[in-house]
């Protein structure tokens, strides 16, 4: 056994969540009991979310291929996918006052499956998002533009909660996916900000928070300068 979990259950949990050890906190017993009782349907649900991420990732890869032919450059630098871990799912449900059930996972959470699209320029973000949302099998549930209106800490990104179909052998199932679109600079700032801000047992001082916000503003200014350079070069190329 590992941390009191039967090895078979532990192994299944790792496959389902794509994470390491389940968090050894007060929710640990809830997760263990839930997985022991619902291991097959939970595994199926996580597989459906995995399929939904694959569908969204493929859609963006197709768009990137098309637009790279039109603009002679690739608007997408990389695509990352993430399946929320079972301990994170449990924490979020309980924090919101919901019990850990399959129904609540599907109905109350929008970000179990996540796809992050890293773009070169801010304009690439909006062009890709618009093209993605125009597809007739993509239903927009929620849109949050943290580029136009950054979070207080300086965070910038375009968030889309969408519902898309996955086609199983005997049915079509609608699944929710969170899509985040960022530039390279937005992504590295968010990654480093999280590592700096959430160091264990360290309280971030206001001066550090202000400096992080300033770094985000500097990164955004660089994005805009690169955007202007790209437009200048493109216009010059068309004129020749």
pLDDT, tens only, 165-224 = 999 989 999 999 999 999 999 999 999 998 888 765 677 788 989 999 999 999 999 999
The model's pTM? 0.83
Residue 154 CA: distances (Å) to CA of 132, 215, 216, 225:
26, 8, 5, 18
Provide, for the chain, the percentages of residues in helix, strand and coil under a 3-state DSSP scheme, each rounded to the nearest 5: 55, 20, 25
């Amino acid at each position: 056994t590992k941390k009191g979990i039967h090895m078979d259950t532990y192994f299944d949990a790792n496959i389902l969540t794509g994470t390491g050890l389940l968090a050894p906190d007060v929710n640990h017993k809830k997760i263990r009991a839930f997985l022991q009782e619902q291991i097959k349907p939970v595994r199926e649900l996580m597989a459906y979310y995995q399929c939904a991420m694959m569908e969204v990732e493929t859609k963006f890869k197709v768009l990137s291929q098309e637009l790279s032919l039109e603009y002679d450059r690739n608007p997408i630098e990389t695509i990352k996918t993430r399946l929320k871990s079972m301990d994170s799912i449990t924490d979020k449900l309980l924090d919101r006052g919901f019990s850990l059930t399959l129904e609540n996972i599907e109905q109350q959470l929008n970000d179990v499956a996540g796809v992050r699209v890293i773009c070169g320029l801010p304009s690439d973000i909006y062009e890709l998002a618009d093209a993605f949302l125009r597809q007739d099998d993509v239903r927009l549930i929620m849109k949050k533009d943290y580029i136009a209106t950054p979070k207080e800490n300086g965070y910038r990104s375009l968030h889309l909660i969408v519902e898309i179909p996955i086609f199983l052998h005997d049915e079509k199932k609608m699944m929710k996916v969170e899509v985040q679109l960022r530039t390279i600079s937005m992504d590295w700032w968010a990654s480093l900000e999280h590592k700096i801000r959430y160091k264990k047992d360290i309280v971030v001082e206001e001066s550090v928070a202000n400096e992080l916000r300033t770094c985000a503003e500097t990164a955004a200014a660089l994005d805009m300068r690169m955007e202007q350079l790209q437009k200048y070069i493109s216009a010059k190329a068309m004129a020749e």
